[in-house]
Amino acid sequence: MIRRQCDGVCRPVLSAVAIRHHSDSTTKKTKAATPKGPSEAATTTLNVKIRRRKLFFQSQYRGMAEMEYILHSFAEKHLPTMKNKELTEWENILRTADSDLYKWIVEKKPLSVNESLRRQRVSQLLVDGLQGLRLDKHR
């Protein structure tokens, strides 16, 4: 599988087949030699912690100061206890534009972007949680 290529100096060149075959056999040996990592439950717990941190950061740094205050306040209170399904719902909320969220949450206008978002549990918690939140305190 080794060919010679001459361009002034002759040197051996491996063909693509030889490289692929060589890498497959190396990978198999490497995989067998590597020790097992943490358990699947520990990995899932770690992933949830990382996901929570990312969502907390996204809640805190938004385009509108008002939405930063609203979403950050909500995330501080509820994010640590959210389950996977609720984290996914929160991700969907954070994907929505700040202007649309503001109109929906504060001005009580219908959410035109994603109507199914209103029916989610986290969305209801967010809207209900604003009852005690003073928006003028942020200014």
What residue segments make up the domains of the chain, in order of their start? 40-137
Domain 40-137, second-level architecture: Orthogonal Bundle (1.10)
Tens of pLDDT, residue by residue over 44-96, are 777 889 999 999 999 999 988 988 998 999 899 999 998 888 898 889 889 98
In terms of average pLDDT, the best of 22-26, 31-35, 40-44, 69-73 is: 69-73
State the Cα–Cα distance between residues 56 and 18, nearest whole angstrom: 48
Q: Which amino acid, residue 37?
A: G
Put simply, whether the predicted model's pTM sits higher than 0.75 gets the answer: no
CB-CB neighbours of 100 under 10 Å:
15
Alpha-carbon span 94 to 3, nearest angstrom: 56
